[in-house]
Structure 1
C-alpha cells in the first residue's frame, strides 16, 4: 500500500468512510480462504466475558519504562504479564 491510497482515522471516522463508500480492499487482498471443515473444532473463545476495571497502580519507574520502551500498548502488555502469572499460579493451586 502506498502513502497516496492509505487512509488514517479513528474507528468512527473509518466507519463513516465505509458508509460513504470511501474504503475499498486493495487489489491484491485475499477475499476468501479455503479452510478445512474441522478448522474451528478446537478453537477457544478468549476473554469473551471478562471486563476490565480502571485502577490506580504504583509501579517502579524502571518497570514502567521497560514496558513503555516496547511501544504502544504497554498497559495491555502489563495486563498480559499479570494474567499469565495468575494463570500459572492457579494451575498450581490445589482444588
Structure 2
C-alpha cells in the first residue's frame, strides 16, 4: 500500500449502499455456485498467528528475533524438540 492509497478518498456512496436490501443487489455478473464451481474451488484457511494463540514474554520473542530472520521456524523447532524429549508427559 502506498502513501497515495492512504490519501485517496473513497467515492463509494456508503449511505446508499447501507440502504440497499438484498433484493436490490445486482448479481448478474456473479458466476453461479454450482457443482462445477465447487469442483474447481480451493479451500483457503487463513494462517493463525502464534501470537493470537499463545503469550510469550517480550524478552523471549526478542531473543529469538535476534537469532535471525527465520526466528519463527526456530521457535517451532525448539518447541518440537521439547515435545520429542519429553514424550507424552504433558498429555492428560
TM-score bracket for this pair, using the shorter chain length: 0.3 to 0.5
TM-score by length of 1: 0.37
Bigger Rg, structure 1 or 2 = 2
Instruction: Judging by fraction of residues, say which structure has more helix.
Output: 2
Q: Of the two structures, which has the highest relative contact order with CA contacts closer than 8 Å and spacing of 6 or more? A: 1
